[in-house]
Structure 1
Amino acid sequence: MQKSFSLDLLKVGEKAVISKLNAAELPSKLLEIGLLPGCTVEVKHKAPFNGPIGLHILNSNILIAIRKSEATYILVEK
Structure 2
Amino acid sequence: MNDTREAPLRIEDAVNEVCPWSGKPIAADSLTLYNGAVVGFCNPGCRDKFETALRQFEGALQARRAARAGNDE
Shorter chain as denominator, the TM-score bin is under 0.3
* Larger helix percent: 2
TM-score normalised by L of structure 2: 0.25
User: Which structure has the larger Rg?
Assistant: 2
Between 1 and 2, higher relative CO (CA 8 Å, sep ≥ 6) is seen in 1
TM-score normalised by L of structure 1: 0.24
* Larger strand percent: 1
